[in-house]
Each structure stands twice: as structure tokens, then as C-alpha cells.
Amino acid sequence: MMHKTTKLWLGKLGVGIGFVFHSFGLLAQEINEIKPTLAVTKITKNSKDGLLPVSDVGQQNTRITGRVLDSAGEPLGGVGVHLKGTSTSTVTNVDGNFVMDSPQRNGILVFTSVGFLSREFPFSSDQRVVNVTLQPDMSTIDEVVVVGYGTQKKTNLTGAVASVTFDEKLTSRSISNVSTALNGLLPGLAVNQSSGMAGNNSSTLMIRGLGTLASGAAGPLIVVDGMPDVDINRLNMQDIENVSVLKDATAASVYGSRAANGVILITTRSGAGKKPSITFSSNLAMQRPTNGIGFMADYPRSLMVHRNAQAMSASANAATYRYGTIEQWMALGMIDPIRYANTDWFDVTMRDAVQQNYNLSASGGNDVSNFFISAGIMDERGLQIGNDFARYNARINYDYKIRKNISIGARVTGNWSNYTFGFNEGFTGGSSGNAYDLRFAVAGVTPYDPFTGFYGGRSAYGEHTLVANPLALYDHLSSKRNQKQLNSIFHLEWEPLAGLKTRVDYSLNYSDQFTVNANKAVEAYDFQNEAFTGRWILGPNVGISNDDLNSYKTMASGRISYDKVFAENHQFSALAVYSEEFWHSRILGGSRLNRIHPSLTELDAASVDGQTNTGSSSREGLRSVIGRLNYAAFNKYLVELNARYDGSSRFYKGHQWGFFPSASVGWRFTEENFLSTIKDWGISSGKLRASYGGLGNNRITNSLYEQREVLTSFNYILGGSAYSGFSNNRMINQAFSWEKVNVLNFGLDLVMLNNRLSAEFDYYERKTAGMADALDISMLISGMYTAPRHNIGEMSNRGIEGNFTWSDNKNGFQYRINLNASYNRNKLEKWGQLLLRGTRFIDMPINFVYGYEDMGIAQNWQQVYDATPQGIVPGDIIRLDLNGDGRITDEDRKADPHTQTNMPHTNFALNSSFSYKGFDLNIQLQGAAGRKDYWLSNYNELSIGERYAASWDHWNNPWSVDNRDGIWPRLNSTAGGNRTQTTFWLDNLSYLRLRNVQVGYNLPEGILRKVNINNLRIFVSGENLHTFTSYRGIDPESTASMNDVYPLLKSFSLGLNINL
Amino acid sequence: MKKINKFIVSVFAGSILLSMSACVKDLLDQQATTELDNNAYWQTEADAVGGAMAMYNNIKNVFHKDYFFDGHGDYVRVRAVSSISSLGTPSNGGAYWTGSTSGHYYPEGYGSSFDNMFRFLYGGVNRANYVIDNVTNMLPRLPASKENLEGIIGEAKLMRALVYFRLITMWGDVPYIDKIVVNNDDVISIPRTPIEEVKNHILADLDYAFEKLPASRSADQKERVTKAAALALRGKVNLYWGSWNKNGWPELDTFTPDAAKADQAFRDATEDFRKVINDYGLTLFRGGAPGEIDDLGKAETLPNYFHLFLPTSNANNETIIGFTHGGQGSGVSDKLMRDIGPRETESSEVNVSPNYWLADRYQSTTTGDFLPPMEQLSDRTQDAKYAPDAATRPNSALNPQTYVGRDYRMKSTILWNGEVIQRLAGLQAEGLIPYHHGKQGVNNGVRFIDYNSGTNSGYLFRKFVRNYAGQGREEGNMTWPVIRLADVYLMFAEASNEAFGPTPEAVTLVNKVRARGNLPGLKPEKFANRDLFFDAIEQERIVELVLEGHRAFDIRRWRKIEEIWGPPNGSGKFTTNTWGNNVTVYFQNKNERAYQQCYIFKIPQSEMDRNPNLRQNTPYL
């Protein structure tokens, strides 16, 4: 299924542009008159009829001029222009211009062109300039879709492919990476962004649900211009022409072993068939957080929270913080902010983020060669202080026909980035060990005193020494990562016979990532006692570390393809590919302590004592043989067969090869004569598709060498020195091999209502087999051997996808509305060994919701007595004794077979665009439903002790005898189920997000022509403007730990696109 | 034109061939880059030695924290096991990890918590089998190295015996595996082998080891086992086998005690120990001399017994089986300091501390007998036994003078009020600082040992805590003693006492052990009969071997839990402290099952679930 919807949308806008021209008729006329020499007029007569003699331009003739554009606003050459009722006709030149001398003063011109709907247009003596836009004929157009190792006619496509063309409206958005840009554009592709951190804000991509349990392997294969394994997030969005998502086995099986979780094909721009031009675009966005934690910038009040918490279990005179302290702080906080701080840490550590994009490109082409070159800068100033990212991209795409039947080409692109950050997740999150920067960021810490130059630490009597000073941290933590990549692919293609093509491709991808960590020491100062607190926020001997990750990947492939039409109605094409891929990576790292001066950040500027180093390399190989056969009969009956045979070095010899075949059929039922009535119902084109096949995944090995029989080194000390020895630590299951996915897909494509509505439906069943798990081995051997892994699990994903696009053009007002939605059900079908009670269970989705039911907060002792005993007091959550055994045990948890905690089952988006007279408006709404998770993070901790920062929720929400309506359980309570996963904390993470609103204006072409500009558009755009959700945490889209709090960004941008 | 075409065709075909003919050699056969390929090993004699080293490294991990086991006895308290990683890696103490930070090393309620120990002991079995089988395979290939290779097989068999011995002392009948396991299916349904059969396998391994091992080794290989080790272990196995047959093991319902077997076992043990003592020139550390002792409140000079448990004495002639550690940066360090030392020694944690009763066990250097029990009085007004003169009253546990003239091993082993320890911080020695129960940090200008919540008895351990700087709390290089000569002396005395009653030979050996505490020889009434002599031997085992992981195993084979803690369903017994307070009660209102669950351990439940042919020990049914 092919969605050229975006192209269509663009087309509609093209019509809009045409209309603008039309409206500025005079200007348009001028244009035509300016360039009479360009207009290769050709007046012909219908010589067969021979009715009219060729005549010179006579007085009786009316000269009609005009221009024909396609829906994208590109000039159409070769369009037949015919004067209705006569034999007078002409064709347009390459610029789309035509001139006709009509014998009539009034009449109707008929424009026809293959692949376009013919159009009639009246002219009169008042209107002798006829500018026309032709709409593509969706039913006949030979639209070409990028598929693996080639292209296919859209009409002949039998696999499930979704596709989007990157146009100006998309690339104008202030999005820093391509993965995030894909959100909401393609049905079946789930996109989740978890952080707004500059340089770390890419999205995870998942096609048709979770297809594997292997960590890090659930994402699709990214193929850019035939190069697999390109980092999608380092592409320059402006370079992209088109993105196709291959979802079913037929579409993806030419990438067989690597395509188990779908394939994303990205094609970059080329200059083919374009007039040379230069494009410049820029975009400047101001960004703000979408959400944040409501910490109180009110220390006395937060100390009261602590007191309240302590009052739950200790007598008043045992409180850590004394009333005197609190009252003193309350009073003096107003006059002495250095000694009595009330810090708003979000305010101190965040700033307005700024994102800038600048891009310059040139492209052009002729019969022999074409080129596209571009350079771009993307610069992000992060929301958090000390977090910046800048990326520079450059690209050259070049093709040349060295002989009539031999062509060569290259795609060479490089990128470079500089990334500055403190913690990996920005603000420390769930995965960071010990530096709870925000959790312990109490308001009573002075961030920084410029007078003394000290960073504050604890100062209140009783406050914990280990309170955090996030400003000190972010000012002194410093990691700088420089990343460079070069991706290149070269090809040589030879067509010895018509239809027979051979081609070799060689690609080389190179990547280097160098990280320098050079934190600076900082000590916390107590401004009240005017002494250091003894707390080194970053220790006095902080060192320096360098880590280099260097890798290259090569691919060599040769292919032969043959296309042939037999007996007019039988189209055959065959393809065979042989390919080898090789990966090599190397890491090298070193660290030292005790730098000779904090300003020096190189290894050699530190003491050699205690230096460490690491180094390693790894290699992987993949060998593949690929075949494809297409057959189309009478343009109605379509068959496609694919197979790929892959050998991977990850597996044990003899179990390295996997075979992944697929087959599909298609039926264009609207071409059947006996169904011709369908056309009368307004369905101009319809196709049924079915496919079935297998795909593979070799990324289920835990490491590249998991299946190698190797020994582990163990030292033993003899006579005070180490004696090296080896032993076996690993039991190998030689048969451990590919994880396989079988996909069944049914699809229906319709084009209806005079091409205004297109609809696509897909139903799929994806069955993953051979999922890996460590064998549950006996304790008699597990003390020596790590368990071998087996292919033992089966999982299914079933779902439906729909994509509906309505586009129309009324009086120059064009609009396009696209609604896409997908629904996926995940289920674990089989597991070859015992599964204990947990969130992985047979007949349940992975990570299903599994927790206690709550009966609300106990208001009084009577309710406590009435409930099953569970060690609670009034103010605690009462858990339901689900199995009624009089105890609360983990058997009382209830499973929800319909909801997963880490992914929604439904994704949907509404993309709409409107244009009128040069103005355009784009709105994207995107949402997800069917995900629930327990909102339990470090920041709604109830047991709030010393040094814990308190939020306004802690002030307002906890239940107490004075606040019986409190919506949280009482403070300082870990008793019972207050902090366990109960329905009390279960939040629905469904959301609807106003993701983009963009308003643009194209300056009239006439004006632009005068300054030799083809096109100039200015726009304002807003991202993530509003989110509707009932989730109480930071962001419902995020799938990261709830302790990660770097929010997504809301941005407002202003931009400009110029085409010269 | 044709020529050009031909050229192109050949170039083209060539390039396709090029891409086909593997740009990368052995594309699908990528060797691991940081791990040694299997095929490259087990070629030379050096490989066999390396294999044995890896085995020692791994088997070390199931013995090197045996001091935690003392918590199951009555003289040591283990409050926490924070030095253990719960990640399950044996080198971080995973074998000793019980799934809980505390409690499972208390005197009661631990029997079902040693799944990891079970697992990693079998890991040790497999490591030994791995060496035995691989080196056996080398024998025909390397005839010239036969003797050395058989010696290595002997080492591995000794290690296998050591591990199986630990297994049967804890679980009774255990599955017996004596070859490399290549597939889970090979072991997933094997039943438990009766204890006697396992014991016989152990003895057979030790017979082989005794025959093939060298009698001695060069100084740089000293830590590898020798004939004496095989004999010492064989004697110990016999001694335990005798104990079980004599005293019974009712919780192991497949086992029937047999007095005749007991007698034979004690005789065999006596023989083995005698050979160890006489045939290999082994001597007690520093000739068994007590060494010098400093005055109260000083620790410049400490007795020899203290030095025996420092890494500086690793090269002693007393350790018969020991496991080495590497110290700083080696990756194979001991964590004795972290567990035993106080806060003042590199921020250690007092996870292990003495019980109060240990102090009264140290006898008078004058009389050689017990002193009157100390008076437990408190210098704190809030305590019931408050006495203003608690710190000065004669025989008060708080009065340092009370400790004068006792067994030198007391000052070497524990700290009481006023005793000093070398403060170590940041790998620097910062002077001697005193201990005072309940006082922490700086008091009136004097810095006391901080962080004493680890002890609840009023004492800390000095044994095993280094008194010199340079290593962190987890950077020790102590050779952990598993069997040392003093233990062999006492085991000889015990075995021969059981077989023949008190003999002068045995008394002499016990007196040698006592002499290192500067105690006079046993008075005749102490070995007047078999039972009295047994008590004297037990007393020596308590003070000599404290913190070395023997006591709990002794209590079980002697069936002494009831004697120590009172009968089932009784009031149990409180541990106490120097202030006279009751601290923790154990075995209060505990039924017989609770006692049974201390005498034998639980077969891991998950293994029961996997293997239908395993039978659980009765107290856990």
C-alpha cells in the first residue's frame, strides 16, 4: 500500500500556487510575455483529417498562451492541448508553456497528458492566458515507489508500504531529528520521544508493535539510499526526499534477516529532471518546557512538610527541623536570600532553549547527469544549562551516464556534531546511580553567590549534608562528545540488453565518537556558618576520561535484474542480489585522576597515578543471497515472490543460515470488466492485497560472540603475584539461531470520489517465533556456567491500520485532511519454560498492567478494621484482598490483559493542511491510547526525609487528620501498599497532542521573478503546543523512567525558505 | 565498440566476483576478540597449571567468607552482609548472599537461605571436574609431563573433595557429579547420592591426591596444596563422619548412625592427622610462641596470634589449605576489613562482631583456667545495671583492669573499653585511637572509634583487621585459612579422644595450642576423662578458631544447639552485653522444627521444582 498522500497534498498546494498565478493573471501574462523565446510554440494540424490548412497567424486567429503545471507546481512538458471540437492542437514545451492560435475567439481547451486527469478549460477573448494545473490520475499513474533494491510501480505493489514525501512544510518544523519528524505521518509506525534534551531528543521507532524481547532490537532497520545501518537521527531532514516504511513480509523480505521489525527506506534528494536551482532555508525556534515538577521554592514550607512527615512516627521534640529554624527562615528569607535561600531550582537551572537550522542546497540535472549538494547546520541550545548540541551535515549526490547504457552514481554524506552535557539524561534520572540532583534539591540551598564565588550547600540546622545543588552540578559536570560520520555508497550500473540490468554497489560507513569527560571540583558552602559544609559536590580529585568509539561498516553487493513484458499483458521482472556486510568497531578509553589544573582537560594534564584504560574491538559479518520475482498479468493480477538467505557470524557454525521467503498476490478488481459498475459508485481504483512470509532477526544474541566457545580468564595469586588461568564459563547451545517473524497481511487500497478520497486498510498478524531466553538450568551447573540461550518464545502482534486522505480544491481554497490510525494487540503465545508470576505471561501482552486494586484511603480505624489486615493506619491506601484469603500477598494482584505499561495499543494522527492565495496552514494532531502505568517516581515519594525536596503536591495532597480530603496517602508512610503498584497510582497515559501548527506565506511569484527568485516562503510554526492527558507525571509520550524529568519542548519558530 | 563492451563486461564480471569472493576473510567466522578461544587451550603443561589456577580462583569464592558462618554459632554476631554483592557474582561473595542483608547469619532460622551456596559449591565441583577431565585428556599426549599432570589432577580432586565435603556437611545427601557437564539434560534429573557414598568418593579423591601430590612445594608455589593438605582434609572428613555416626543426624532420614563406623572413622582420622603433624615438618606460626604483648590501652606490640591473621604472615608454615587474595588492583581481594573492622579502619562496617560470651572464654595466663565471670555493669544511668563505679569496680566488664592477665589471644582477637586500634583513612595510618562502647567520635578532645552500632556486645574484633596502612577495606590480600595446623592439632585431639580417650600425645598438642595464648598446660583434671578432655578441646577450638567459620559446623556435628540455646519450646537465650543488658533472644518459643532446620539445610526450592527426582530434607517438607 502506497501513500503518495503527501505528494498529493503537495500537489494540492501546487494547485494553490497555480491559483495564485491565476489570480495575479496580469503578472502571469507578463511572465509569458517576458519569455516568448523560451516558448517553443508548435502549431500543428491534424494532418490525418486534413481539414484545416496550415495557416499563418491570421487576423481571425486568437493567440492563446498559457502554462501547464503539475499538482506540485512543477511545469509539465508534452501536455497535449486540444481545441475542443476542432483539430487544432499543440503540446507544451519543457517549461510547460504553450502558444496556440485558435481560429475561434471563444472555446474550450482540453489538456491531456498520460498519468494525469484530462482537464477542460474555457478561454475567451477576455481571457487569452490559460494557466492550468493537472491533477494526477491515481488510477493510471505509473507512480513509482521505492522498495528494497529498486523501485516498483505503485499499482503493482502487493506489499504493505507506507510512504511520505518530505516537503517544505515538514522540513520547516523545528525538529532536531528525523525520527521525531516521522511522528504521526505513517500508520503503523509508532514514534515515542522521551526527552527534550538537546542532543538526546530522538524518538524510538517501532513498527507494528513490539516484535522481539531482545533488548535494543525492536526498532526497524534503517536503509538510506541503499545503505543499511545509517543513524536516522544524524540525517539532515532537508536532504530527504521520501521515506517508505516496509511493514509486511513481502515488502521487507529482501532485507530478510534484518527486517523482522520492519524497514524504513529513506531516499535523499537528487537533481534528476530539475532545473538548476539553489535553496536556502532557515528557521529559528524558541523553546520552553512542556511540563515540570512543581517543587516549592519555599524552604520553610518544605521543612513543614518534613515535620508533618516526621510527626507520623516521632514525637515533636524529635523532629529534625526545629520550629525555630522554620520560623527564622520564614522571616529572614525575605531579607537575606543568601543565607536564607528559597531557591526555585527549575528557574535557576533552566533557560529558554533555542534551536536554529540553516540549510543551503543546490540541485539540477539533465539527460546525462544530475547532482544534489547540500550543507546544513542544526544548533540546539538546551533547556538545561550546560547542555548544547550542534550538528553539521554535508551531502553530495551525483549520478552520471557514462554510456548510453552505463551509469555511475555516488551518495556521499558526512556529519559532525558537538554535544555538551552533564548527566547522560540531563537531569539525573532512574538510571543514574547516586547523584539525585533534583530529588535532593531543597529550596534552602543558595545556588551561587557571585560575591564570594561559592556554591551553597546545606545551611539550615538539621539539614542533611548531602543536599544537592543542581546549579553547582550542571556548572561543573562537563562531558563533551564529538561525533563524526561518513556514509557513502557508489554504484555502477550496466544495461547490456533492454531490461537486463546488472549493478554493483559498494558502501562504506565510518563513524567516530570521542567523549571527553572533565568535571570540575566544587565544594558546598554553608552561608550561615560561613564555612564549607564538608560536602564535595564533585570531589577534589575529579579526573578526566576519554572514550573513543570508532567503527566502520562496509557492504558490497552485486545484482542482476531483468524486466520484460511478454505478449503485451504479461510483465515479468526478476532480481537476484548477492551481498556481504561487515562491521568493525573499536573502543579505546582511558582515565586519570588529579588533574594538574582544573582548566586543563587533557589526559596528559593529569597524574599518572591511578590511571586506567580499556580497549577492545569487535567484528561481525553477514552474507546474503536475495531473489525476487514479480509477475503482473493484464495489470490486474499481481504476484510477487521473495526470498533471502542469510548467514550471520553471530551464530554457531552450522546454524548460521536463515531462509526467509515470502509471497504475495494482488488483485486490481476495478480493472475487471465485470466489476466495472464499481467505478460508477465513485471508486476509481481498488486493489486487494494479501501477503505472507518470513523475516529474521539476528540481534537476539547478547553479544557478537555469545555463540563462540571461549574461555574466561581467572587469576590466582601464588607467592604474592598473579598467575593467569582460564576456565569455561559458558555453556553453548549450538542450535541457538535466528528469531523468525512470520507476517500475514491483508490490504485494501481505494481511490474514490473523483480522486478526492483515498483510503487504505491493512490487517496483519505478525508472529514472532524463536524468541530467546536463557535456559533455566540446574543449580548443579549454574554455579559455573552462564545459561545457554534457546529459541523458545512465541509472540504475536495483530493489528489494523487505516489511512484516509481527503483532498480537494474549491475556488482556490485547497485543503487536505489525512487521518491515520493503527491499533495493535500484543500477546505472548508460548514460552518454552516456566514463567513465574510477573509481567511476562502466556496469553498476555508483554509488560501488561499487573498490580493491586485499591479501595481508597482509609479515613478512620473502622475502615482499617473492616479491611483485610495489611498493617495500615488511617491515611494509608487500602488494598483489596482479591482472592479473599484474608491476607494481602502478591497473589492479590490483578492483571489487565488489554493494557501495557510501556506502549499504547493505538496511535493516531490527524494531519491537515489548507492553502489559499499563497497562505498555507498546517495542523498536526497526534495521540495515543491504551497505555497505563503506575505513576511512582522519585518526585512523589511519600516517605520524605531529610534532604528531600518537597513539591507543592507534598504540601497540598497528603492525607492527614487536618486534610481528610487529601488525595495522596499520608506522608512518611511506606506501610502497606502506599507506594506499591496499586490502581491508586495507575494513570492512563492516553494523550492527544497538538503537535504542530504552521502558517506560511509564499510571496507572489511575479514579484519574485523580478529579483530572480523562484520561490520564497516565510512561516511561523509551533511544536508541541498543547497536550491533553490525564497523566499526572511529566509526559505521557515518554517511555523512559519516570525519574527522568528532562521535559519535551514546546517551541515557536520563525523561518524562511528561498529557492533561487 | 565491441572491444569496449568486452572490457566493460570483464570489469563488471570482475567486480561482481570481487564482491562475491569475500572482501573480508572468513566473514562468518569471527573470533572473539577479548576471550580466548576454546581450541587454543589445554595444549601444554602450563595450560594445565593455568586451569588449576582458575579452579582455585573460583573455589576460593565458596570459602573465603566463612567468617559469616560464625554467626550461626554462639560467639559471633553477623549483623549485615553489605560487603556482598547481591548480583550473584561469586567473586563478590555471591555464594554467601542469602537474599537478605541480615538475619540469615543469626543462630537460628537460616537453613533455607543457602541456595546460592549450594549453587556455587556445585560451581566448584564443576570447576574441579573441568580440570580433572581436561588434564586427564592431556596425559596420553604429554607422557613426559605425566607426574606433574597427575599432580594437577590430584589438586583438582582435593578441591573437589573439599567442596563435596562442605556440601554434605550442610545438606547431607547430595547429587554426585564427577565429570564435565555439557548439557543441562545431563543433570536435570539426577537424584541425591547417599551421604556415605559421597563420603567414599571424597575419600577416594583424597587418596588419589595424597598419592600424586608433592610433599612440599617451592616458596613461590606454596599456596598450592600438598600431601599434607590431602591428609588433613581426609582426617577432617573422617572426623566428621565419626561425629555423625556417633552423635546421629536425625534430620537426615536416609542416614543411620553406626557406632562401629564411628569408631573406625575416628581411628582413621587420628592416623591421618598424626601423619600431617609428624611427616611434613609443619610448625605453628613463629614456633607456637606467644610473642610479646603490650600493656592495657596500648597496641604497639601485639602477640604472635594477632600477626598470624595478617597478610604479612601469609607465608607462614601453619596454613595447610588456604585461599589467596591479591590486594589492591588485583580484582581478587578479600573484604575482611570491611566486614570486621570498625569505621576507623578505612570506613569499615562492623558487620561481624564478638558476642559478649566470648570474653569470658579467655582463661588466666596464671592459672590456665577460667576466671570468675565478669560482672556486667553499666556506666549509663538509663541502664538497669547502672553502677557509678562500673568502669573501675574489680571484675567489671567495663573495667579494663579486668582483662589483665588473660590469654594473649584475647588482646589479639577482640577490643574492649580502652583498647586501641590503628586508625586508617585514605590509605594513611592516622595513629592509635581507643574504643569505648557507646562513645563515638570526638569526646572531650579524644577521638573514639566511631560507628559502633555494629556491635551490641561491647566488643569489637581485632583479629583479621590490618593494623598497617596502604590497602582499602576491600583490598585485602589475606590468605584465608581453611585448614591450619592448630586446627589439625585440635582435630587430632578430638579424634583420638573419641577413639582412645585422652592420650599424652593429644594433651601435648592441645597444650601447644594453648601456649600461643601464653597459657600453661592443661591441669590433669582437664583431661581426667573423655568428656572433660572433650570440653577442653572445645574450649580451645572456640578461642583459637573464632571467626574462621568452624564453630557452627562443630555445633551441628556435636548436636549442641539445644545445649547452648535451651530446649525446644523454651524461653531461648538472650545474648547480652558489657552493660548487662539483654540484647537479642534466640530460640524463644521455637519448636523442634526450628531446631531441625538448623541442623540441616534446605535443598533449593527451584532445584526441587526442576528435578522431580530430588527429595527434600525432612524438616522442609
Nearest CB to A778: which of B121, B219, B607?
Answer: B607
Q: Tell me how far CA of residue A792 lies from CA of A211, A796, B262, in angstroms.
A: 14, 14, 51
Q: Which residue has the higher pLDDT, A275 or B108?
A: B108
Residues 823-862 of chain A with CB under 8 A from chain B are: 834
pLDDT at res. A430: 54
Its pTM stands at: 0.79
Q: Which residues neighbour A567 within 8 Å (Cβ) at sequence distance 6 or greater?
A: none
In contact, A308 and A265? CB cutoff 8 Å: no
pLDDT at res. A80: 81
Interatomic CA distance for residues B243 and B239, integer angstroms: 6
Would you say the C-alpha torsion B294, B298, B301, B302 has a positive or negative sign? positive
Q: Which of B6, B7, B10, B19 to mutate to test the interface with A (most CBs of A within 10 A)?
A: B19
How far B562 CA sits from the closest chain A CA (Å)? 33
In contact, A736 and A789? CB cutoff 8 Å: yes
Contact state of B126 with A621 under an 8 Å Cβ cutoff: no
Interatomic CA distance for residues B544 and B463, integer angstroms: 11
Of A55-59, A393-397, A695-699, B235-239, the poorest mean pLDDT is in A55-59
Q: Tell me the CA end-to-end span of chain A in Å, nearest whole number.
A: 36
Mean pLDDT, residues A128-149: 69
Q: Tell me how far CA of residue A605 lies from CA of A518, A520, A593, A598, A602, in angstroms.
A: 11, 14, 10, 9, 5
Q: Could you report the per-residue pLDDT of B473-501, keeping only the tens digit for each?
A: 999 999 999 999 999 999 999 999 999 99
Contact state of A726 with B36 under an 8 Å Cβ cutoff: yes
pLDDT at res. B10: 56
Contact state of B49 with A725 under an 8 Å Cβ cutoff: yes
In contact, A985 and A857? CB cutoff 8 Å: no
Q: Which of A780, A782, A836, A837 to mutate to test the interface with B (most CBs of B within 10 A)?
A: A780
DSSP letter for each residue of A324-347: HHHHHHHHHTTT-TTTS----HHH
Nearest CB to B12: which of A494, A647, A780?
Answer: A494
- The yes-or-no verdict on residue A53 having pLDDT over 80 is no
Mean pLDDT, residues B233-260: 96
Residues of chain B with Cβ-Cβ distance to A779 below 8 Å are: 115, 118-119, 122, 604, 606-607
- The yes-or-no verdict on residue A49 having pLDDT over 50 is no
Q: Which of A723, A773, A776, A837 to mutate to test the interface with B (most CBs of B within 10 A)?
A: A723
Interatomic CA distance for residues A572 and A500, integer angstroms: 12
What is the bridge-based pairing of β-strands B480-484 and B428-434? Answer: unpaired
Among chain A residues, the shortest Cα distance to B2 is held by A496
Residue B136's Cβ-count burial label (10 Å; 0-12, 13-18, 19+) is middle
Nearest CB to A726: which of B29, B41, B607?
Answer: B41
Q: What is the mean pLDDT of chain B?
A: 92
Interatomic CA distance for residues A7 and A3, integer angstroms: 8
In contact, A5 and A13? CB cutoff 8 Å: no
Q: Which of B3, B20, B163 to mutate to test the interface with A (most CBs of A within 10 A)?
A: B20
Q: Tell me how far CA of residue A85 lies from CA of A52, A114, B210, B259, in angstroms.
A: 13, 21, 117, 126
Choose from A31-45, A180-194, A905-919, B505-519 the range with maximum mean pLDDT.
Answer: B505-519
Mean pLDDT, residues A327-350: 90
Q: Which residues neighbour B570 within 8 Å (Cβ) at sequence distance 6 or greater?
A: B587, B588, B589
Neighbours of A638 (CB within 10 A): 23
Q: Could you report the per-residue pLDDT of B362-371, keeping only the tens digit for each?
A: 999 999 999 9
Contact state of B34 with A719 under an 8 Å Cβ cutoff: no
For A578-600, letters b (16+ CB in 10 Å) and e give bbbbbbbbbeeeebbbebeeeee
Q: Could you report the per-residue pLDDT of A722-744, keeping only the tens digit for each?
A: 999 999 998 888 889 999 999 99
CB pairs under 8 A between A and B: 220
A958 close to B (CB below 8 A): no
How far A415 CA sits from the closest chain B CA (Å)? 26
How far B338 CA sits from the closest chain A CA (Å)? 21
Contact state of A714 with B54 under an 8 Å Cβ cutoff: yes
Contact state of A778 with B50 under an 8 Å Cβ cutoff: no
A582 close to B (CB below 8 A): yes
- The yes-or-no verdict on residue A26 having pLDDT over 50 is no
A558 close to B (CB below 8 A): yes
Q: Which residues neighbour A987 within 8 Å (Cβ) at sequence distance 6 or greater?
A: A932, A933, A934, A935, A1030, A1031, A1032, A1033
pLDDT at res. A17: 41
Mean pLDDT, residues A281-300: 89
Q: Pull the grid cell for residue A488.
A: 557513502
Of A12-26, A581-595, A904-918, the poorest mean pLDDT is in A12-26
Per-residue confidence band for A1041, with pLDDT thresholds at 50, 70 and 90: confident
Mean pLDDT, residues B221-230: 94
Q: Tell me how far CA of residue A625 lies from CA of A578, A652, A699, A1020, in angstroms.
A: 5, 19, 19, 49
Q: What is the 3-state secondary structure (H, E, C) of A28-42?
A: HHHHHHHCCCCCCCC
Q: Tell me how far CA of residue A213 lies from CA of A534, A695, A906, in angstroms.
A: 46, 16, 20
Nearest CB to B27: which of A621, A712, A716?
Answer: A621
Contact state of B220 with A719 under an 8 Å Cβ cutoff: yes
pLDDT at res. A72: 65
Mean pLDDT, residues A372-380: 94
How far A313 CA sits from the closest chain B CA (Å)? 22
Interatomic CA distance for residues B202 and B179, integer angstroms: 14
Q: Could you report the per-residue pLDDT of B91-115, keeping only the tens digit for each?
A: 888 999 988 766 899 999 999 999 9
pLDDT at res. A4: 38
Per-residue confidence band for B234, with pLDDT thresholds at 50, 70 and 90: very high
Residues 786-825 of chain A with CB under 8 A from chain B are: 787-788
In contact, B409 and B544? CB cutoff 8 Å: yes
Contact state of A718 with B324 under an 8 Å Cβ cutoff: yes
Q: Which of A579, A779, A835 to mutate to test the interface with B (most CBs of B within 10 A)?
A: A779
Residues belonging to chain B = 621
- The yes-or-no verdict on residue B220 having pLDDT over 60 is yes
Residues of chain B with Cβ-Cβ distance to A620 below 8 Å are: 30
Q: Pull the grid cell for residue A767.
A: 508472529
Residues belonging to chain A = 1060
pLDDT at res. A44: 42
Interatomic CA distance for residues B614 and A604, integer angstroms: 61
Contact state of B182 with A708 under an 8 Å Cβ cutoff: no
- The yes-or-no verdict on residue A47 having pLDDT over 60 is no
Interatomic CA distance for residues A83 and A65, integer angstroms: 13
Strand partners, B260: none
Contact state of A784 with B58 under an 8 Å Cβ cutoff: yes
A318 close to B (CB below 8 A): no
pLDDT at res. B493: 97
Mean pLDDT, residues A89-113: 81
Mean pLDDT, residues A34-42: 37
pLDDT at res. A16: 39
Per-residue confidence band for B268, with pLDDT thresholds at 50, 70 and 90: very high
Contact state of A717 with B330 under an 8 Å Cβ cutoff: yes
Where helices occur in B217-335 by DSSP H, the ranges are: 227-247, 259-279, 304-308
Q: Which residue has the higher pLDDT, B63 or A274?
A: B63
How far A309 CA sits from the closest chain B CA (Å)? 25
Cα angle B202, B277, B73 (rounded to 5 degrees) comes to: 65
Nearest CB to A715: which of B118, B314, B332?
Answer: B332
Neighbours of A459 (CB within 10 A): 25
Mean pLDDT, residues B184-209: 96
Residues of chain B with Cβ-Cβ distance to A710 below 8 Å are: 32, 35-38
Contact state of B57 with A710 under an 8 Å Cβ cutoff: no
Interatomic CA distance for residues A770 and A249, integer angstroms: 17
Q: Could you report the per-residue pLDDT of B60-103, keeping only the tens digit for each?
A: 999 999 999 999 999 999 998 888 876 668 888 899 998 876 68
Q: Which residues neighbour A865 within 8 Å (Cβ) at sequence distance 6 or greater?
A: none
Q: Could you report the per-residue pLDDT of B396-437, keeping only the tens digit for each?
A: 999 999 999 999 999 999 999 999 999 998 889 999 999 998
pLDDT at res. A61: 74
Nearest CB to B28: which of A648, A710, A714?
Answer: A648
pLDDT at res. B160: 98
Per-residue confidence band for A78, with pLDDT thresholds at 50, 70 and 90: confident
How far A839 CA sits from the closest chain B CA (Å)? 20
Contact state of A784 with B127 under an 8 Å Cβ cutoff: yes
Residue appearing with cell numbers 554426585: B176
Interatomic CA distance for residues B238 and A260, integer angstroms: 61
Residues of chain A with Cβ-Cβ distance to B183 below 8 Å are: 731
Where helices occur in B377-503 by DSSP H, the ranges are: 408-413, 485-500
A494 close to B (CB below 8 A): yes
Greatest CA separation for chain A = 117
pLDDT at res. B22: 47
Interatomic CA distance for residues A193 and A200, integer angstroms: 10
Among chain A residues, the shortest Cα distance to B334 is held by A717
Choose from A82-96, A111-125, A364-378 the range with maximum mean pLDDT.
Answer: A364-378
In contact, B551 and B75? CB cutoff 8 Å: yes
Q: Pull the grid cell for residue B581.
A: 543488658
Interatomic CA distance for residues A705 and A729, integer angstroms: 13
| DSSP H/E element including A474 | helix A470-476
Q: Which of B6, B9, B15, B16 to mutate to test the interface with A (most CBs of A within 10 A)?
A: B16
Interatomic CA distance for residues A626 and A646, integer angstroms: 8
Of A53-62, B369-378, B398-407, the poorest mean pLDDT is in A53-62
Angle between helices B551-558 and B146-171 (to 10 degrees): 60
Contact state of B221 with A724 under an 8 Å Cβ cutoff: no
Per-residue confidence band for A756, with pLDDT thresholds at 50, 70 and 90: confident
A490 close to B (CB below 8 A): no
Q: Which of A541, A560, A585, A781 to mutate to test the interface with B (most CBs of B within 10 A)?
A: A781
ipTM above 0.90, yes or no: yes
- The yes-or-no verdict on residue A36 having pLDDT over 70 is no
Q: Which amino acid is at B194?
A: P
Q: Which of B29, B38, B471 to mutate to test the interface with A (most CBs of A within 10 A)?
A: B38
Interatomic CA distance for residues B413 and B461, integer angstroms: 6
Strand partners, A813: A810, A916
Mean pLDDT, residues B10-39: 70
Per-residue confidence band for A42, with pLDDT thresholds at 50, 70 and 90: very low
Percentage of chain A beyond pLDDT 90 is: 42
How far B366 CA sits from the closest chain A CA (Å)? 40
Q: Pull the grid cell for residue A4.
A: 503518495
Among chain A residues, the shortest Cα distance to B50 is held by A725
Q: Could you report the per-residue pLDDT of A882-934, keeping only the tens digit for each?
A: 998 888 888 899 999 999 998 999 999 999 999 998 899 999 999 999 999 99
Nearest CB to A725: which of B37, B52, B609?
Answer: B52
Q: Could you report the per-residue pLDDT of A211-241, keeping only the tens digit for each?
A: 888 877 888 999 999 888 889 999 999 899 8
Cα angle B350, B356, B357 (rounded to 5 degrees) comes to: 130
